[in-house]
Amino acid sequence: MVVEVHTAGKPVVPGRALLASIALLLSACALAAGMTWLRSGDPLGHRIKPPGWEISFRPPRRFQPVDATEWRVAGICRFVGLSRQGAIVALDLWRIDDAGDEEASTVATRLLRQYALLQHGDLREPAVIWSEEAFGPFEGAEAVAPQGAIVVRAAIVDRDLAFAASLSVRDGLVDDHLYRAFDLTCRSIELTGR
C-alpha cells in the first residue's frame, strides 16, 4: 500500500508519510483481529457436570444457572437467558430415571407435553412435530410444539435412563438464533461414565 502525504511546504516530509503508514497498518490489523475474534468466539460456556449425572454439557455463554427447586422435580439443571427481543428463555437439562423401555421420541413427546402444561397452561396438550437429531454421542429425538415456543430433545442412555434438553421462550418463539444455541448445547453433551 502506497501512502502519499501532501503538505503546503516543500519538500514532502518523509517522516510524516512513514508515521501515517504505520498508523493505517495498525488500524487495519486491529480491525481484522476484532472481526476475527467476534466471528470465531465460542457461543458456549464452560463444561458442566451435575453431581451424579453420567453426562457433561456446555450451556450457552449468556445463560445463567438458576435454582430449579421450585419445580419439585429431581434431575433438572436450569439456565435462564434473554432472547434478542427481550423475552425470558429457559434452557433445562433433564435426567429421567424411569424411562423404562420407551423410545427417545416417546420421552421427548411426553416431556414436551408435561412441560407445555407446566410452563404454558394455555397450550393444553399440544400436538407434537418430532424428528431425529443428535444428542451428543447418542441418537436423539426432538419434539417441537407447533406454536414454536418449546422444543425438547431426548436420548436414551441405558434401559431405564434418559436425558433430555428443553428450550422454552416465555411470550415468544424459538427463533433461529436460540435454536442454534440449543442445538450446540445438545451436541456438546459427552458421556462421563457412572
Q: What is the model's pTM?
A: 0.69
Residues 6+ positions from 21 with CB-CB distance below 8 Å: 1, 3
Residues 6+ positions from 188 with CB-CB distance below 8 Å: 44, 47, 57, 58, 136
Q: In what order do the strands lie in the sheet with 64-66?
A: 64-66, 76-82, 88-96, 162-169, 150-156, 138-144, 129-135
DSSP 6: -
Q: Is 46 within the bounds of a domain? A: no
In angstroms, rounded to a whole number, what is the distance separating the alpha carbons of residues 78 and 65? 6
Q: Is 100 within the bounds of a domain? A: yes
- Indicate the pairing of strand 162-169 with strand 150-156: antiparallel
SS3 (DSSP) at 177 = helix
- Residues 68 and 145 grouped into a single domain: yes
- Residues 114 and 24 grouped into a single domain: no
Q: Is 48 within the bounds of a domain? A: no
Which of these, 5, 8, 41, lies nearest to 22 by C-alpha position?
5
Q: Cell match 442412555: residue?
A: 157
Which domain CATH number covers 90?
3.40.1000
Q: Is 34 within the bounds of a domain? A: yes
- Residues 10 and 63 grouped into a single domain: no
Q: Is the pLDDT of residue 77 over 70?
A: yes
Higher pLDDT, 140 or 185: 185
Q: Is 50 within the bounds of a domain? A: no
- 142-160 mean pLDDT: 80
Q: Is the pLDDT of residue 185 over 80?
A: yes
- Residues 136 and 187 grouped into a single domain: yes
Domain interval for residue 122: 55-191
In angstroms, rounded to a whole number, what is the distance separating the alpha carbons of residues 164 and 96? 8
**DSSP-assigned states of every residue in 52-98:** T-SEEB--BTT-EEE--GGG--SSEEEEEEE-TTS-EEEEEEEEETT
- When pLDDT is cut at 50, 70 and 90, the band that residue 159 belongs to is confident
Whole-number mean pLDDT of the chain? Answer: 77
Q: Is 144 within the bounds of a domain? A: yes
- Residues 62 and 30 grouped into a single domain: no
C-alpha cell at 7: 503538505
pLDDT of residue 127: 56
pLDDT of residue 17: 73
- Residues 19 and 62 grouped into a single domain: no
Q: Is 64 within the bounds of a domain? A: yes
C-alpha cell at 161: 435412563
DSSP 10: S
Q: Is 95 within the bounds of a domain? A: yes
